[in-house]
Structure 1
Amino acid sequence: MARYGQRPENALKRANGKHNPLNAYALAITNVDHVAFKPFQFNLLEFIDVGKPARALDTLQEVFRNKKWAYNWSESVLEPIMFKYLDLCVELKKSHIAKEGLFQYRNMFQSVNVGSLENVIRGYLRMAEEKTENAREQSAQAVVDIDDLDNVATPESILLSAVSGEDAQDRSDRTILTPWVKFLWESYCQCLELLRTNAHVETLYHDIARMAFQFCLKYNRKTEFRKLCDKLRKHLEDICKLPAQVANVSIAKPETQQLNLETRLYQLESAIQMELWQEAYKAIEDIHGLMNMSKKMPVPKTMANYYHKLAMVFWKAGNYLFHAAALFKLFQLSKEMKKNITPEELQRMACNVLIATLAIPLPSAHPEFDRFIETDKSPLEKAQRLAILLGLFQPPTRASLLKDIVRVNVVNLASPQLQELYNWLEVDFHPLMLCSRVQSVIESLQAEENSSLVQYVPALQDVTLVRLVRQVAQVYQTIEFSRLIDLAKFTTPFHMERLLVDCVRHNDMQIRIDHKKQCVHFGIDLSESQREDNPEGPTLQSMPSEQIRNQLVNMATVLHQAISIINPNKKKLEREKLRSQMVTNYHEHKVQDHQRILQRRKIIEDRKEYIERLNTAREEEEQRR
């Protein structure tokens, strides 16, 4: 200490020397001119010079632990010291020590100089990202193959590494890349915890959240992505519970709501890219909650992005009904809000909505069966929750969506081939040509390059086959299985047989397959019938079982018609008898009714006079006062 105090230029030379591996901020440290920092400065430079960064870090820790000095220094003095402190923490991968220093620095400058705090945190994360990227370039391992960075050395992994024949490259990857990825993840979490309730650094908090999402995407960290989503959700809950203070983040502010909404949209986009569909659905629920919390609706661009992502999540979940409903909401929003929309863009959106609606599987004829299945949540409750996410009062149905797209002219805005497809599936009844017509449309869709409509082809084929079976059942009582396969142009015998079984299970159709005679029988059981009086889609005639079901109603109608024909004057006589009874009843009670009306009128007049007297007395009393 004495010789460095006499000749500090020797320490400065060694700090900036070519042998010093940690001299990124040494020049800034040496330029700090503060009496209280001189002893720490000489110790720091000495330890750096002799290659002992851990001892140098201990020296800097003493600076921040000594609050008597540190709180009296300005940011111009402490900022270069803080940068060197964080540089040593990054070099030694000491995230917990970096957290301690950052919390101390936040307490000093969060209300005095927020810019310095933001510079320090961004610099810290930038250093951690650079080190991690360098380690990634040195390692041949592109992605870390550890499930959870918070539990790197599990007993299973230790045993597996002991018995497996991993080569030197695998071991070097585990020692080079994994620690830096773990350190970077811990750095993001610490900074988010540091800034979560401070209103002055709210923008920085959301920037770091997006950086953490990019980290999860870059290194394919699915476990950390789930933890990050839960952490942000917990932070939002804590913000809602905070008391109203100037320094605290307030969810009532429109700026805070907008920042949280943008971060959740980025979270949704990242979840979709990582194919974490459950997290994507949770993000959608969070976005919907933030929208309801806001007093004004988000901008149309944000809502369009929301509906687009929602439709994508529903499609991946196999929920074709709500996928089509989301696309329909997106179409309505774009048509109403987008001023310079082109006819080509409008046609493309109409085609998406139309083919998505046509691809919805035909509904079950007995939906009330779901009420008797003991599950945690009934399908109706789930459908209502999904409808709320779309801003609908009740869950949509395939029939209601078809009515809506006809009402808003979606069918006429679509391409001519899709208009024909709609007519063939929903209007015309032609089982012999149905599949061949639909197949021509499917081939034209598959011929187009980069067409987004190709994804609907398998679902559209299944809907067409069910339509074919329903129409064939209204024409044939028995049909050869080979003939049915010939009518269905794009299926196999196994797939057709499975589809017939599903039709019996879900649509309650009466179908029996005779494998011995290789034929299919339709509607031979008269003891049961479909629940719906009017079957969905084009129909030619009612099935025999449906005719039996309505036999009593038809019989009652015919009997009423026969009675009117046999005795046409019966109703006239009944009316005259009823009229005479009404006239007799009137004459018997007319005097009593007249007296009651006069008495009621007198009561009303007396009450009016009484109220007028009260008002007059009150006015005279007020004037006298």
Structure 2
Amino acid sequence: MSTFVKPENALKRAEELINVGQKQDALQALHDIITSKRSRAWQKTLERIMFKYIELCVDMRRGRYAKDGLIQYRIVCQQVNVTSLEEVIKHFMHLSTEKAEQARSQAQALEEALDVDDLEADKRPEDLMLSYVSGEKGKDRSDREVVTPWFKFLWETYRTVLEILRNNSKLEALYAMTAHRAFQFCKQYRRTTEFRRLCEIIRNHLANLNKYRDQRDRPDLSAPESLQLYLDTRFEQLKIATELELWQEAFRSVEDIYGLMCMVKKTPKASLMVVYYAKLTEIFWISSSHLYHAYAWLKLFNLQKSFNKNLSQKDLQLIASSVVLAALSVVPYDSRRASHLELENEKERNLRMADLIGFNVDPKVESREMLSRSSLLSELIAKGVLNCATQEVKDLYHLLEHEFLPLDLAVKVQPLLAKISKIGGKLASASSVPEVQLSQYVTALEKITTLRVLQQVLYL
């Protein structure tokens, strides 16, 4: 271990070693001065040492050295100059990203270069054997050797920074920024495995925050600024999960947001709740939970109508039409014969879904009576949602719900569905719902029409 009386001497010695190609020795010299007990008081020279240290760590891909040095530097400056720590961490992320981008630009085929399931997994023995047997050479092999290690290092950088910044009120803005950048990394390169892992990391950080309530410098979620940062991070998580089509993770993200709201007992501003319900409509539709999909659309309609002052009449009509068609698409009866245990599980699930959508229900009531198709349609009539829909949707509603035409129902419904399937488009005044296509409900509505015809035939 090198000993330097002054930090300036360590920095000078490191630069001399770098000039003669001894980067590892230079890194060790800087590591020794950073971890020395003499370097417990912050000074500008120590910041310059950290910048040089981080540059060496990135250049040599020494992630563990970087983490160790940043932890020591956080101890030194978090009480006296937290801005310095922020600058060093930003520099760390900038260099790591730059190196990964440089490696990516060298690869002409990014798809092959990044064809790795898990950035944290080591190369498997069978892969090594296959490369020797097949004689894999040339561009594919060089791409894997050049590009993948830098993307592994960039992912490791995000993990390291999040770990260092977690649960510290003075660093929560930088923590949120890092989480957003990590989400974008996962989205840009379709890193689904890393995205799931990232969500779990952030989830555990929040759980530990609640566990150690007496911790010094712990973020106060009751403060509006802190709450907003945590909510923005969760909403970004939800957005990326749906864009990556990771629907199970998207549902967990919705539960994260709901849990955060329950924790602080505050409802986020309307602009965020609009995003929340817009994503819920997607999640419930993909999972074939048509009843909850329709209730989420109703909540979204009410929010847009109440808080979106720029909402045009055309966009309002499209959203209202989606609400009505979503409600009509719900099967009007439960065809399953379930056991007592299955009914209890279904009851618990309904309570959970009702909470996420924001409906207060009585847990003692039977599950089929909590949220139902009939009560939803009645609410649409009472609140004037049906009146806002297009004429084709209104006509379809009256045919399916109020007309008795066992011989002619299908004939009358078919042209309406043909017209409805062509209605849709981008919404200019509702950014949270960029596009509405009523054609998505046609298949479900055809099934409902068939059921209505069979029901009416039985009454003949």
Aligned pair 1:349/2:319, yes or no? yes
**Does the CA contact (< 8 Å) of 2:284 and 2:293 recur in 1?**
yes
1:209-228 to structure 2, matched below 5 A, reads 209-228=179-198
1:116 to 84, 100, 114: 84
Distance (whole Å) between structure 1 residues aligned to residue 120 and residue 396 of structure 2: 54
Task: Report if the CA contact (8 A) 1:239-1:250 is conserved.
Answer: no
State the alpha-carbon separation in 2 of the partners of residues 474 and 165 from structure 1.
Answer: 74
For residues 47-75 of structure 1, give each alpha carbon's deviation from its aligned partner in whole angstroms, at most 9, with x where no partner exists. 2212222222122112212221x22451x
Query: 1:294 and 1:248, CA in 2 relative to 1: closer, same or farther beyond 3 A?
Result: closer
Mapped to 1, the partners of 2:382 and 2:49 lie a distance apart of: 69
| Deviations 1:488-526 (CA, angstroms, capped at 9, x unpaired) | xxxxxxxxxxxxxxxxxxxxxxxxxxxxxxxxxxxxxxx
Indicate the percent of aligned positions where both proteins have the same amino acid: 41
Query: Are positions 1:101 and 2:74 aligned together?
Result: no
| Equivalence for 2:364 | none
Residues in 2 aligned to 1:376 and 1:231: alpha-carbon distance in whole angstroms: 34
- The residue that corresponds to 1:77 in the other structure is 45
Q: Show structure 1 runs of 5+ residues with no match.
A: 1-33, 476-625
CA distance in 1, matches of 2:75, 2:180: 24
Count of aligned pairs: 437
Deviation string for 1:276-301 (max 9, x for gaps)? 11111111111011111223322111
Higher normalized contact order (CA 8 Å, seq sep 6+, divided by chain length): 2
Which residue of 2 is the match for residue 408 of structure 1? 383
Q: Which amino acid aligns with 2:61?
A: K
CA contact (8 A) 1:431 1:468 kept: yes
Following superposition, the deviation at residue 120 of structure 1 comes to: 0.6
Number of the residue aligned with 1:423: 398
Structure 2 letter corresponding to 1:248: R
* Residue 610 (structure 1) aligns with: none
- Alignment partner of 1:174 is 2:144: yes
Supply the distance in 2 between the matched residues of 1:165 and 1:397 (Cα, whole angstroms): 63
- Partner in structure 1 of residue 226 of structure 2: 256
Report what 1:388 is aligned to. Answer: 355
Query: How do 1:310-321 residues align onto structure 2 when only pairs under 5 Å count?
Result: 310-321=280-291
Q: Are 2:156 and 1:186 equivalent residues in the alignment? A: yes
Contact 1:146 1:152 in 2 (8 A): no
Q: Answer whether contact 2:317 2:389 (CA < 8 A) is retained.
A: yes
- Tell me the residue number matched to 1:455: 440
* TM-score (norm. length: structure 1): 0.67
For the 8 Å contact 2:180–2:233, the answer to whether it is kept is yes
Contact 2:11 2:49 in 1 (8 A): no
What amino acid does structure 2 have at the position aligned with 1:36?
Answer: K
Matched-pair contact (CA < 8 Å) for 1:304–1:330: yes
Distance 1:38 1:282, change over 3 A: closer
Distance 1:165 1:422, change over 3 A: farther
CA separation in 2, counterparts of 1:461 and 1:142? 44
Asked whether the equivalents of residues 320 and 359 of structure 1 are also in contact (C-alpha less than 8 Å), the reply is yes
Amino acid of the structure 1 residue aligned with 2:392: Q
State the TM-score, normalizing by the size of structure 2.
Answer: 0.90
Per-residue deviation, 1:447: 3.4
Confirm whether residue 283 of structure 1 aligns to residue 258 of structure 2. Answer: no
In the aligned structure 1, how far is the partner of 2:8 from the partner of 2:315? 69
Q: Contact between 1:128 and 1:184, CA under 8 Å: does it hold in 2?
A: yes
What's the Cα RMSD here? 2.1
Equivalent pair of 2:424/2:437 in contact (CA under 8 Å) = no
Judge conservation of contact 1:71–1:108 (CA < 8 Å) in 2.
yes
Q: Structure 2: which 5+ runs fail to align?
A: 362-369, 426-435
Letter in 1 for 2:96: A
Instruction: Indicate whether 1:434 and 2:404 are aligned.
Output: no
Residue 402 of structure 1 aligns to which amino acid in structure 2? Answer: L
Instruction: Supply the distance in 1 between the matched residues of 2:144 and 2:74 (Cα, whole angstroms).
Output: 34
Q: Is the 8 A contact 1:240 1:251 kept in 2?
A: no
The one-letter amino acid of 2:449's match is T
The CA deviation at 1:440 is 1.2
* Letter paired with 1:370: A
Residues 226-625 of structure 1 mapped to structure 2, 5 A cutoff: 226-244=196-214, 247-364=217-334, 369-372=337-340, 374-375=341-342, 378-394=345-361, 395-448=370-423, 450=425, 452-475=437-460
Cα-to-partner distance string for 1:17-70 (whole Å, 9 max, x where unaligned) = xxxxxxxxxxxxxxxxx97134323422222212222222122112212221x2
CA 255–126 in structure 1, closer or farther in 2 if over 3 Å, else same: same
Tell me if the contact between 1:254 and 1:294 (Cα under 8 Å) persists in the aligned partners: no
Distance in 1 (CA, whole Å) between partners of 2:219 and 2:136 is 50
* AA in 1 matched with 2:78: Q
